[in-house]
Amino acid sequence: MDEIRAQSKGWKTRHFEEIKFYHLRPEGAGIGPLRTASLHGEIYYLTGGGSLFFALKFFHRVIVGKPFLLGGLAMLWGYLRFLLRRRQRLVTPKEAQLYRQILNRRISTRFGQLFNKIRHKREAWSVS
């Protein structure tokens, strides 16, 4: 949230790839994987994330998440619970819009990378 808020105010932010950070315990080890997944859904709602990115995230969790299937359903439950209660979001509409733009850019970048990998493999096959 702090990064979204800073960017919405015109500040430049960046990530430092050279700084390595190692978690000593898996995320959610203290509260369990289902509660952690539910919490991710709640946070996604509170930060104003978009429906396309959430749908992709949900299907990814259902297919490859741990625990299988239940992790995605728990995340969906956390999101819908806050949505149906119309909980107040932690960000302004402007900040939510910026967050959705960031996530949509991430989707287009990943699909672009995937498309390029497929294209390069096809080119390598046609040369052989």
For residue 70, the model assigns a pLDDT of 94
- Report, as ranges of residue numbers, the positions in the chain whose pLDDT lies below 70: 127-128
Nearest to 59 by CA among 78, 72, 77: 72
Domain boundaries, the chain: 2-127
Mean pLDDT of the chain: 89
For residue 72, the model assigns a pLDDT of 95
Q: How many other CB atoms sit within 10 Å of the CB of residue 96?
A: 19
Cα→Cα distances 50→44, 88, 100, Å = 9, 16, 5
Nearest to 77 by CA among 58, 51, 103: 58
Nearest-angstrom CA–CA distance, 3 and 75: 23
Residue 29, classed as helix, strand or coil, is coil
Condensed to tens digits (0 to 9), the pLDDT of residues 11-45 reads 998 889 899 888 888 888 899 999 999 999 999 99
Whether residue 85 contacts residue 122, with contact meaning beta carbons closer than 8 Å, is answered with: no
In this prediction the pTM is 0.77
Nearest-angstrom CA–CA distance, 128 and 118: 16
